[in-house]
Amino acid sequence: MQTTTKPSITKAWAKAIAQPATEFSPTPLPVIAGGIPSNLRGTLYRNGPARLERGGMRMGHWFDGDGAILAVDFNSNSPLSQGGEGRAIASYRYVQTAGYQEEAAANRLVYGNYGMTAPGAFWNRWLKPIKNVANTSVLPLPDKLLALWEGGKPHALDLQTLETKGEDNLSGLSHGLPYSAHYKCDPHTGEIFNFGISPGINANLNLYKSDRTGKILQKATFTLDGVPIVHDFVLAGQYLVFFVPPVRVNALPVLLGLSCYSDALEWQPQLGTQFLIFDRETLTLVSRGETEPWYQWHFANGYVDPSGTIIVDLVRYEDFQTNQYLKEVATGETHTPAPSSLSRVHLNPNLGKVTAIEQILDRSCEFPIGLPDLIGQAASPTFLSVHRSGINSGAEMFDAIAKFDSQTQSLTVADFGENCYPMEPIFAPDPQNPASGWIVTVVYDGNRDRSEVWIFDSDRLDAPPVCKLELPSVVPMGFHGAWRQA
């Protein structure tokens, strides 16, 4: 009897997360194409889930993976550098959170998280708190690196060795206040703005203003309606702007241990999207209002135009299917389409009204970034992760990056080829001309099952990369990174 085998729909990217990532100590990276630009001076830091399995058990959501930090140092004065060789030195280490250490010692999963309840006896779901996985982003400060996760405190690491020093309260995160992964730095004042959501019957939005060292100097609290997801915000001129999508936590199943946080999230479009506008100096509410429903994870940039209108660019989804797609990533196969687009929202801060919403790029995208020196100002191009043309976005990860200029409506795409997956584009400025520089990204090559660092001229993104460097081991696709200028 002849049998037929159903073809596998597993994509090449799945190999990158199939096994826990392997750490590596400081290693000079071989140049495999081109050359490192002479003016490229600084360190790329990246964060992301590096372990989605422990003791034979898979974690429930991509967001649940233990965080690991990649550092790629392009400073030629590194002690490992010898002449032109070793101009890039890379290290990769897990963040040694308390939960990570406990589970490593037990060789099994112990804690619940965003997409899973605590394993084992039912009462573990009440006794074990959600693990701080420190896996979402990084904040380089003058004397330390922060590994960020929005549900708790940041973890401080050594900037050079990536040794974990422990949780850091930044002189202000008392009484369990969390610190989000999406801070905003004013490039001119050095001020750092961030927030954290404290759950409750009605959650609290906690606002923080810090100096350039990360020390919190000012705090404020605003009560929200229910328990929503607020992942990011935007600094626009003199304002901090938040959009609160119509997603709410059904808290009872979570409290009873019947559901994880992710499965208890409900899309409630009848609530509309709320917006909150705060004054950046006083952290007081300027105005609030409501508009049509959508969901967003990330903002590109915001600014105030000459008429006083706040302009906000964001990656917008029509619903919350994106969460199901991200849950499926952890299994190695995705099936749920979650199309997005780059949109622009016009806000009148005095009237508390949305005056216009326009789609400025009709292409599924994510991880938007602007030029660091133009944060909160106009005329910043947007770099994004996108799909190659003709790709089934429900089954694939992002496999290209692009530069969008809203003034000329032009889109320049860097196509990485089949089965190659770049992470979020990070801008590294040229010290001689900060408006230009390089896009540095970490790429998983599924054809060769290896990870590389690719460097592009930011003004010629559709040209071949100016340099490719090979990493010692596979670095799974992650979330966010930052550039620290030398």
What residues are designated binding site?
182, 231, 298, 480
What gap in Å lies between CA 283 and CA 271, rounded to an integer?
25
Q: Which residues of 419-433 are buried (b: 16+ CB within 10 A; e: fewer)?
A: bbbbbbbbbbbbeee
Closest CA to 426 of 21, 151, 101, 46: 46
41 contact partners, CB below 8 Å, separation of at least 6: 74, 75, 76, 431, 485, 486
Helix, strand, or coil here: 195?
strand
Within a 10 A sphere around the Cβ of 47, how many other Cβ atoms? Answer: 27
176: left (phi over 0), alpha (psi -120 to 50) or beta: left
Helix, strand, or coil here: 264?
helix
> Any bridge partners for residue 295, and if so which?
317
Token reading at 321: 């299917």
What gap in Å lies between CA 94 and CA 464, rounded to an integer?
32
Closest CA to 310 of 362, 271, 346, 258: 346
What gap in Å lies between CA 164 and CA 96, rounded to an integer?
6
Within a 10 A sphere around the Cβ of 156, how many other Cβ atoms? Answer: 22
Scan for tokens 């508390």, then name that residue: 352
Closest CA to 180 of 190, 171, 193, 191: 193
Which H helix or E strand runs over 415?
strand 410-415
Closest CA to 381 of 457, 435, 441: 435
Q: Which residues of 224-257 are buried (b: 16+ CB within 10 A; e: fewer)?
A: bebbbbbbbbbbbbebbbbbbbbbbbebeebeeb
Within a 10 A sphere around the Cβ of 354, how many other Cβ atoms? Answer: 19
Helix, strand, or coil here: 44?
strand
Closest CA to 368 of 416, 426, 285, 318: 426
State the amino acid at position 314 in one-letter form. L
Per the annotation, binding residues for Fe cation are 182, 231, 298, 480
Scan for tokens 């080829």, then name that residue: 417
Token reading at 191: 């001020």
